[in-house]
Copies of this chain bind each other. A is one copy, B any other.
Amino acid sequence: MATADSNTDLRNGYTIMSVREALIRQEDTIIFSLIERAKFPINSPTYDKSYASSFDSLVEFIVKNTESIQAKAGRYKNPEENPFFPEYLPSSAAPNYPFPQILHPEAALININKSIWKMYLEELLPKFVAPGDDGNYAQTAACDLSLLQAISRRIHYGKFVAEVKFRESPQEYEPLIRAQDREGLMNLLTFERVEEMVKKRVEKKASVFGQEVGPVHDENQGKYKVDPSVVSLLYEKWVIPLTKLVQVEYLLRRLG
């Protein structure tokens, strides 16, 4: 029999270590998706509700309908995935797969995608895309969807972070949960040194992945496809705080 240390499979494959690795890997996906979205200018008709009478807005049309297809193919059976428009989803037509179910049922349903959607469109997007219009609105919205999904997965992964931390030392969390002490929980989950390290790492990744690779051209030295400081800001202002928000909300429901 395996020893019950924090790296064994007692949590159906989720451990402090595996959760940490998943978060790091998801940074790459977010940065690749930022770079791919930045290939296109802002393309504002994509977001304009009056652009075409057949759509709410083109981005909503693409996101709702693509989510719907992916739902039918089983995407949201994996508890790591959270849809932006859950009210429109058909059920899965795919056979069940035994995804590990480690989340506490009361708390598993947390979905803050409405806030992520608003933050993305109103705050993040204008910070990293160029002005302009090249007519590629469907492609732009498809890039928005991939990026939104990557950011959402990262932030909602807070549920798994919270669950493995809780199982690691329930005695630390239970009194705060019983007292419904948000601030106490937030303090317990905050490690400024780690947050600084994450911000530095994503900035470095953005400069590595967003560089021009090829024979040295002077004019491209130090030019990045997405400003690395925007990626650091995305983590500082939204990804880290919203992940902690998800963790706190999850823990508040953990004994329910």
Residues of chain A having any CB pair with chain B under 8 Å: 24-25, 28-29, 32, 35-36, 39, 51-52, 54-55, 58, 61-62, 65-66, 69-75, 77-78, 81, 93-95, 97-99, 135-139, 141-142, 146, 201, 204-205, 208-209, 211, 213-214, 225
Contacts and interface: CB of A to CB of B under 8 A. Distances in A.
A239 B69 CA distance: 30
Contacts of A74: 137-138
A94 B25 contact: no
Given A36-B29, A39-B25, A213-B204, A139 B75 contact: yes
A59 to B, nearest CB: 9
B211 A208 contact: yes
Contacts of A39: 25, 29
Contacts of A65: 69
Nearest to A136: B78
B213 A208 contact: yes
B72 A69 contact: no
Contact of A138 (B62, B75, B146, B225): B75
21 contacts: A25-B39, A29-B39, A32-B36, A51-B95, A52-B95, A54-B94, A55-B73, A69-B69, A70-B139, A74-B137, A75-B136, A75-B138, A77-B135, A94-B138, A99-B135, A146-B146, A205-B213, A208-B208, A208-B211, A209-B209, A209-B213
Contact of A52 (B28, B35, B61, B93): B93
A49 to B, nearest CB: 14
A83 to B, nearest CB: 12
A25 B25 CA distance: 23
